[in-house]
Structure 1
Amino acid sequence: MKAYTGLTVFTNDPRYPLIEDAYILVDDGQIIEVEKKEGIVFPEDVAIEDLDGCVAFPLLSNSYIDLSVPLKVWLSESFRGDAILENYKSAVLNGREYWLNEIERLNEVIENTIERLLSLGMGNATFALPFTIDDPSEVLSRFESYPIKVIAGPVITTEEVEEDILKSFSENDCPLFIVLDETFYEKHRLLSHYEATGTFYYIIPDFSRLEEVFIKTEGRRVIEIFRESNIFTGNSVIVHGWGLTDIELDVLAVRNVLVIKTPRFELLVHGGTLSLSEYIGRGMNVHLGTGPFSPNIFKEIESTLLFYRHTLRSTAPLKILQELIIKLVFSEGLVPKKETNISKRLMKGFEASFAVATPAKKIKNLEELVLFLMEDFREETLRLTINEGEEIWKNPFGHS
Structure 2
Amino acid sequence: MPPLDAELLQTPLHALHLELGARMVPFAGYSMPVQYPMGVLQEHHHTRASAGLFDVSHMGQLRLIGEDAASAFETLMPVDVVDLPVGKQRYGLLLNESGGIIDDLMLVNRGEDIFVIVNGACKVGDIAHIQATIGALCKVEHLHDRGLLALQGPKAVEALQRLIPGVERLVFMTGAAFAWEGADLFITRSGYTGEDGFEISVPGKHAELLARALLAQPEVKPIGLGARNSLRLEAGLCLYGNDIDTTTTPVEAALTWAMQKVRRTGGARAGEFPGSDTVLAQLDGAQPLTRQRVGLVALERVPVRDHTELQNLQGDTIGEVTSGLLGPTADKPVALGYVTPVHAPVGTRVHAIVRGKVVPMEVVALPFVPNRYHRG
Could you state the TM-score of these two structures normalised by the residue count of structure 1? 0.27
Please identify which structure carries the higher strand content: 2
What TM-score, normalized by structure 2, do the two folds share? 0.28
Say which one has the larger Rg.
Answer: 1
Higher relative contact order (CA 8 A, sep 6+): 2
